[in-house]
Amino acid sequence: MVAESGVFALNLITLTVIVFSAHLLLLRATKLQAYLPLAVCLISVGVVLSQPVLASLPTPWRVSFLILSLPALMLIAPSFWCYVCGITAQSPWQFKQVSKVHFLPFAIGGGVALIALLMPSEIQYQLLVLGDDSLLTSLSTPMQWLVGGILIVTFLLVIAWVIQSGYYVYQVIGRLHQYRRHLKDLFASTEEKEARWLTWLLLAIGVVWVLAATSLLIDNLLFSFRFDGVISGAVTLVMVWSVALWGLRQKPGFEELYTSQIVVEQVLTSSEQQQTKYQRSALSSEQANTIAAKIEQAMQQDQLYLDSSLSLQKLASHIHTSPNYISQTLNEALGANFFDYVNRYRIEAAKQALQQSNDTVVDIAMAVGFNAKSSFYTAFKKETQQTPSQYRKSVHLEAAN
């Protein structure tokens, strides 16, 4: 009884978090549609998870939500994919941009749910709540065929959901990898835009998925085994709370460029097609050298790298040059993307500070333009193969000798 009360309480808290966060996301979606898919995703998760709470409500409510959990299940992965597309989009994301093929399994599940909702309540209760299929023998032949067909399609949809989820996990990983690479062509500091929490979420989902599959195999092949309901409920609550919290905090990475004159697609230089476009561009080697000189002057004399919010747009405004030409010059003449180029100057400034001052590593990191200690350590080690502390120690040892 205590365990059941714990499961009920955790489920109720989880659903409350979902309702509250989905409401906030829907309010934000009136201005930026990128938040709409996450609201839909959370609501779908809520429908699927609602059974412990609905068990205390009248049977018709429980049965109806159990039926609706099938299309809701098929909606989770594509709506999450749309959310990832929205926050990584190079221009304001809109639902009309999404291929409707993504929602075909949801449409099929919705059709199955509609037919099931129209069936007599006795059949719904026996099959879905009690799990008793003995009632089928007393039905007419057409009804037996209909119920049997629905059960088969439902089974196939559940299998399709497993495949669908794996497909979207793969797609999300690829999308995030490309997105983070693109950020470095446009921004000198990317830690707040990279949406690393999505990677951790996918990892957590993968771990839960493996544990669930393992328990299912043990339960069916070896001996009766179930995870404790309270533990499962607590894990679910933490994951939903994390998605809600970070989803509300996360802004689209390119949002600040939506209203600028920069055409993001023309600046990004990651694909071979874009490199070919550069080769055909009207920018001559003489012009590239002139722009390179302007860029280096902006860094060496004007010290733009000290600006922690420095972007390609700001640099373009400072030297009065097309962002596309700057990006091309950085990649072809200077051999680096915008992120790496700026951070080289920051690291050089940090090295001087580590040699000449007793300031803490964090203070130095912030002073030279970094937003976070972790990103400073990563960039510093990439450039020097040492941590800042190791570098300072080695410099002091050399001076002592």
Predicted confidence at residue 134, as pLDDT, reads: 62
Residue range 91-120: mean pLDDT, rounded? 87
Calpha distance 319→39 (Å, rounded) = 42
Percent of the chain with pLDDT over 70: 84
In this structure, are residues 264 and 186 in contact, taking their beta carbons and an 8 Å threshold? Answer: yes
In this structure, are residues 336 and 156 in contact, taking their beta carbons and an 8 Å threshold? Answer: no
Residue range 364-376: mean pLDDT, rounded? 90
Copy the structure tokens of residue 261.
Answer: 């004159």
Topology (CATH) of 264-400: Arc Repressor Mutant, subunit A (1.10.10)
Average pLDDT of the chain to the nearest whole number: 84
Calpha distance 45→18 (Å, rounded) = 8
Residue range 238-260: mean pLDDT, rounded? 88
CATH match of 2-257 with 1.20.1070: yes
Q: Which has the closest alpha carbon to 180: 168, 170, 191?
A: 191
Predicted confidence at residue 232, as pLDDT, reads: 82
Predicted confidence at residue 132, as pLDDT, reads: 60
Copy the structure tokens of residue 25.
Answer: 């996301």
CA atoms 21, 27, 33, 34: torsion sign? negative
Residue pLDDT, tens place only, 290-328:
999 999 999 999 999 999 889 998 999 999 988 888 888
In this structure, are residues 184 and 337 in contact, taking their beta carbons and an 8 Å threshold? Answer: yes
Domain boundaries in the chain? 2-257, 264-400
Residue pLDDT, tens place only, 161-191:
888 888 999 999 999 999 999 998 889 888 8
Q: Which three-class secondary structure string do you get for the chain?
A: CHHHHHHHHHHHHHHHHHHHHHHHHHHHHCCCHHHHHHHHHHHHHHHHHCHHHHCCCCHHHHHHHHHHHHHHHHHHHHHHHHHHHHHCCCCCCCHHHCCHHHHHHHHHHHHHHHHHHCCCHHHHHHHHHCCCCHHHHHCCHHHHHHHHHHHHHHHHHHHHHHHHHHHHHHHHHHHHHHHHHHHCCCECCCCCCCCHHHHHHHHHHHHHHHHHHHHHHHHHHCCCCCCCHHHHHHHHHHHHHHHHHHHHHCCCCCHHHCCCCCCHHHHCCCCHHHHHHHHCCCCCHHHHHHHHHHHHHHHHCCCHHHCCCCEHHHHHHHHCCCHHHHHHHHHHCCCCCHHHHHHHHHHHHHHHHHHHCCCCHHHHHHHCCCCCHHHHHHHHHHHHCCCHHHHHHHHHHHHHC
- Rounded to 10 degrees, what is the CA torsion of 26, 31, 35, 40? 40
Write down the residue that tokens 């020097």 correspond to: 384
Predicted confidence at residue 9, as pLDDT, reads: 87
In this structure, are residues 308 and 370 in contact, taking their beta carbons and an 8 Å threshold? Answer: yes
Residue range 224-237: mean pLDDT, rounded? 77
Residue range 359-378: mean pLDDT, rounded? 90
